[in-house]
Structure 1
């Protein structure tokens, strides 16, 4: 479900955005900050357009000392802390900036049960070249309110294969200044003895792992060694203030999966008699009864896995017992999620994480794995009986608009269920992550008494979608259209409410581009990726209902699409073939001439016959509805294809173009003659997006918004005077990593801006300025206005 999101980083690499382990690593002194733009006098309030979830939650971590202190980690969207009073999640890593965008991927998280104010996160998104930065360990003394960072000499992979295994980061429960981190890529086991400030490789740990998902993958994504995947302490072998003596470590090695130290990490040995042929995804210890439980799969997950086992290791005797609830020969999945009820340690639960069809399975034992029951059973195939009820009314799109045949049901209990945790203080509360949301229950023990436990989304506030495009129409019932990775996208009629359904008819796995007809905005078009079937869809009722168009020959993916302002025609640049145009709603297509395949296309917002394109430094113009394009004579534009451009509503031929790369032309350009010539804005150092919103009070020109570098600082900027001056409207606490895919203002609400993120969903900001005046350029001149944080042309 999450696989498509890896390609966002590939695009970033093409845009030039993505630029042996040392024995000991110290936290660097904080570097002198780069020149900063002042925080704008006009401050903003930032929220999410509510979707609730939308991505993979590979880890849920309950603090073992303090009730209701719970954290969740996501693969690309940061980390969250549970707020019991509101039953919502608070994002903790929104302060991660553009240059460190990869640190929004969280490979592991640890909450300190000695000092619950302390929390640690191991961050980094990819271990290959898609992410230019190394991983880091973040540490916080205020529950994630603020962070300090130690950079590591290797990469971490929050969105790599195997990311559901864990936790790779662990705190000694008796001496909390000691932490361990399992590294991927053959980098071994690492230890800190000063609360995460400095780290050293554990030189005598004998096995750095050898399992790779696909050794033939030349990108390095599937061919990376998944490394050391979990660390578990036996708290009964230590006393407060003294290092725990017994530590178990899981390694991605099918023949040598589990190691143990009984002398606080001085020496390590392979556990004798352990099962082989599988990877141990989790190792969870019941210290009270002396059992280490292990969930095994034949693959690293979180997507794959065809066979699995559950085992129990008696720590006192060294006895191994196969406690699998289903014989391996009868499995078509691996086991991943694994938890023990700390109030009743003989109660164990596990998930069939890779059971995509007909559904995931959850297993429960109340006798230490001797016998099991499961969340659902077949009565008479294909009919099934469930021990649970599901209520997704708070996130109704989780049905995916599906109408499956038995034994499938909608909504599903889940898939990619690698995280499963029973609240250590409350046997009735359990949370588990899926590929699309985080579910929970508060009456779990109904399972044991013959009743049915109630499953609901417990995900409000946790937003984890990757945004490809945004469009805000000037009228109609829709406030915002979004194009998203993996779950297609949504029509928001109310930003504060979860939409009832994603786009359907057809349902794209990923929507790559969308547009509406500027002067007839009830006409909307979207394109996207789909394994089979049409890659384009239309709506004539403001995006409420959709119907499929017909693909021209050779289409393999969505690409970009543009609608004429009156909705009379469309130009489409799909993957797999050249640019196409049509009148009507795509029942037939004709090839455009004069423009290369793969060009980005947009429409003029006034003239229904004028369309624009861009490819490899060249701007193209069509004046006959997309039939023929001519290359503009404009030069000096970015030579690469990481460019986004838009035409201004209400004025023919007014075009803004943003993009480039750090090794060439990179900035913001403006044309007032339909792309015949462009002028680069000298006051913008770099820009990646451009969008328009309602004009400021008293202004005649639309408000401009961009994700850019201006005045030496990266941020979200606004101009109300046609780009002469700019103010930064976000701040260092609200950066959201990479925001380079799309931006748009609201044409109906002055000051409102919608910002794309790569994993934190759709962010929108509203201005606090109620004076009716805009702060940009108030002093009446260009240059920098120190009193208001404005930056202008000199």
Structure 2
């Protein structure tokens, strides 16, 4: 699943390499008297998990990496994941994209992460290797002279970063963009290019598309512990595999590799992943016509295969599973071997979109295979296991089973795929949305075949006892959240890719908002009628309206009437409901369509007078007749419930650079505005406040730039609501709070809790003083309480 990111608007500044500092902030007048604790509102997953890495010598030591949300360590006692990169700040936000991980099999306290989100100029920083001597609790940084692609095509291939089990001070790194093979000989502290390695790769998906134009490069490194050989997979169909037999001093192309790995039915392919059986002396390699994770089928329907190399003799064998008539496989995503049972291995398809992905299992080194599901006569589907979505109830996507296409699927984009080397019953795999797993895997082998033949020669299902696969993503919070509204006992969210949620218990994952869109963009509620909620998002197709309404505080939702002039794909924009719920104002983005309003809960819409297309809209939290909008440096106000707007005549606001603005609960005409500024235009950013509905504004000079603003319960019963913002003071990007109407500000987060970037939206809780909710770009919904 590809997620929305905010890379193009993020600033960057240099930081020193080396061990991380302890939490501290010494700017004058910004020291907070309250210590905060930070947690996630539970979603459990919500994005792509491209890698799961088991330590091969210490049981239960497992790491998972995500494409924009950092990495995690498994906690066996609670069966949850612990986030390891929350310390990453805005200046190095790209470190939250983890392209590979390596766990040391000799000194198991050591773990490494190759980080950097984009190889394009969306990320101004280069990549780095993070190294830890305490299983990821603290990290050092070795900066690299090139970029890495944690959220680029090919991020599920690998692993690109590995520890040499014969000499654990030595690590290898495969890189994209033609940078070749790199090596460290001092536990990841310093790195140098392996000049002797001859091939930096040449495979490009689409040179005309900047996101797809990068050379996929050196993909993976694997070790043959029988013969002491080092194998390296390269994105070059003509020369896809190299070997060193002298500890990396010299390298040679492996004979027969191009024929075995370089094409399928005339389609060029590359070696995506490998797995070594160090008992039987086999190297298994899966290929695909595309590096993933978005690839679909090919013209011939067969985009990949599984090849087996006998490491001692050099003999290649095609062990690709056979296909049933009428079924096409787009290519393979992951492969894993069972260390406890040599000869047992498994592989997954990658984006076998309909009806579902397929998991393959062999117990005879690939000579024969069984599948995780199959058809019988009449196209009935029969499965080896049941999928238990209770850990993440939204995984049905509000859908229903449609014949063999189940609402709860094996997943898609399956490239993280691993059998526990210490426990043959445990399998975990990552998808575009979650981590699935089972502790009953070997029951597969006692089931036998799923489908047999009856006396008439017809394919029929055979009886089996199914096992269970369940969610293993508890603690992995990797959604990109875009908007929040705290109603008091209820948290409403707009979330990238998974629509959004209504949380009444922050520790419990919920079903997603059911409005037919995948990415929510904005939410709101009627201040004096808080059971009335509105939401909008990016729809796909033309069958449903963009805006949804709930009149029972999110228990049920209904789509409003479609605005025919708004194109179907995308265009969620912003939505606001006035204080008493009598008017809804919607401003779609990315179109030339004038904002619209409705006085009948979206049954009918009328064009607004006086507002430009794409204006950001908000409502006054006291006066039902007043709504606000901002666009291009101009602040607008409506006094007739959103029917007409007029320029307030305000000056000095940053043109086109406002990130967020909002009205203050309980204070009519009070509006606060957060802006980033425009360096090219010489206009500074910061925070502004108005007490007259946006006619005049006062700048809060302490801020250099601000990205979001929200309000929560006041510190005193008669006081001004607490104000929260994600902003920069004295060069420090952080979360700040004011309890006196904006005269003084305190930083409330610390250097251990920065989450890369957290500027899309922020809000306090109206009932709990000090509680703040904030969005992140890959770490879900974060909330903080006074300790």
TM-score normalised over the length of structure 1: 0.91
Shift of 1:331: 2.9
3-state SS in 2 of match to 1:41: coil
Cα separation, partners in 2 of 1:27 and 1:694, compared to 1, 3 Å: closer
**Secondary structure of 2:753's aligned partner:** coil
SS state at 2:91 partner: helix
Separation in 1, partners of 2:643, 2:287: 58
Which of the numbers 71, 80, 86 marks the counterpart of 1:79? 71
Q: Which moved more, 1:380-389 or 1:719-728?
A: 380-389
Q: Which residue of 2 aligns with 1:785?
A: none
Structure 1 residues 461-472: aligned runs within 5 Å = 461-472=475-486
Moved more, 329-338 or 735-744: 329-338
Consecutive unaligned residues of structure 1, counting only runs of 5 or more, are 20-25, 239-245, 769-794
1:449 is paired with a residue whose SS is: helix
SS of 1:398 mapped into structure 2:
helix
Corresponding residue number in structure 2 for 1:243: none
Matched, 1:627 2:643: yes
Give the aligned partner of residue 418 of structure 2. Answer: 421
Matching residue of 2:35: 43
Structure 1 residue corresponding to 2:11, chosen from 5, 14, 17:
17
1:125 and 2:117 aligned: yes
1:614 correspondence with 2:630: yes
Would you say 1:196 and 2:185 are equivalent positions? no
Measure how far apart 1:214 and its partner are: 2.0
> Is the Cα–Cα contact under 8 Å of residues 3 and 47 in structure 2 kept in the other structure?
no
Equivalences for residues 478-557 of structure 1 within 5 A: 479-499=490-510, 501-504=511-514, 506-532=515-541, 533-556=544-567, 557=571
My pick for the range that moved more, 528-537 or 62-71, is: 528-537
Deviation at 1:642?
Answer: 4.2
Equivalent pair of 2:350/2:357 in contact (CA under 8 Å): yes
After superposition, give the CA deviation of every residue in 1:209-255 in whole Å (9 maximum; x if it has no partner): 222222221xx2122222211111222345xxxxxxx2111112222
Asked if the contact 2:227/2:312 (under 8 Å) is kept, the reply is no
Counterpart of 2:394 in 1: which secondary structure?
helix
Distance in 1 separating the partners of 2:720 and 2:170: 58
Q: Work out which of the residue numbers 351, 372, 376 in structure 1 matches 2:373.
A: 376
Q: 1:507 to 1:553 in 2, by over 3 A?
A: closer
2:586 corresponding residue in structure 1 = 572
Select which of 140, 146, 150 maps to 1:158: 150
Aligned length: 742
Per the TM alignment, residue 39 of structure 1 is displaced from its structure 2 partner at its CA by: 5.5
Correspondence list, 1:68-147, <5 A? 68-147=60-139
Q: Which residue of 1 aligns with 2:239?
A: 256
How far does the alpha carbon of each residue in 1:39-62 deviate from its partner, in whole angstroms, 9 at most, with x for none? 633111111101111111110000
Q: Structure 1 residue runs of 4+, over 4 Å off?
A: 26-39, 327-330
Determine the C-alpha separation between the residues in 1 that align with 2:25 and 2:207: 41
1:361-408 C-alpha deviation (Å, 9 max, x unpaired): 100000000000011111224211111122222222111221131111
Pick from 329, 334, 351: which aligns with 1:332? 329
CA shift, 1:699, in A, is 4.7
Deviation at 1:197, TM superposition (A): 0.9
Give matches, 1:695-714, under 5 Å: 695-714=714-733
Quote how far apart the aligned CAs of 1:18 are: 5.7
Alpha-carbon distance in 1 for matches of 2:731, 2:287: 50
* Separation (CA, whole Å) in 2 of partners of 1:28 and 1:387: 49
TM-score, with structure 2 as normaliser:
0.92
Q: Would you say the 8 A contact 1:27–1:197 is kept in 2?
A: no
In structure 1, distance between residues paired with 2:654 and 2:141: 35
Matching residue of 2:286: 295
Per-residue CA shift, 1:281-328, capped at 9, x if unaligned? 101111211100011111111111422211101111111111011259
| Contact 1:637 1:665 (C-alpha < 8 Å) held by counterparts | no
- Correspondence 1:673 to 2:667: no
Counterpart for residue 659 of structure 1: 675
* Residue number in structure 2 paired with 1:761: 780
- Given that residues 20 and 140 in structure 2 are in contact (C-alpha distance below 8 angstroms), is that contact kept between their aligned partners in structure 1? no
Is residue 219 of structure 2 the alignment partner of residue 229 of structure 1?
A: yes
Q: Relative to structure 1, is the Cα distance of residues 381 and 232 closer, same or farther in structure 2, using a 3 angstrom cutoff? A: farther
2:755 pairs with 1:736: yes
Q: Compute the RMSD of aligned alpha carbons.
A: 1.9
**DSSP-derived class of the 2:674 partner:** strand
Q: Identify unmatched segments of 5+ residues in structure 2.
A: 264-268, 298-302, 448-464
Per-residue deviation, residues 644-666 of structure 1 (Å, max 9, x unmatched): 00000111110000021362321
Instruction: Select 1:598's aligned residue among 614, 626, 639.
Output: 614
What is the distance in 1 between the residues matched to 2:76 and 2:651?
Answer: 57
Alpha-carbon distance in 1 for matches of 2:497, 2:433: 9
Change (3 A) 1:707 1:642: same
C-alpha distance 542-325 of structure 1, shift in aligned 2 (>3 A): same
Does the aligned pair in 1 maintain the 2:632–2:656 contact within 8 Å?
A: yes
Structure 2 CA distance for partners of 1:419 and 1:356, relative to 1, 3 Å:
same
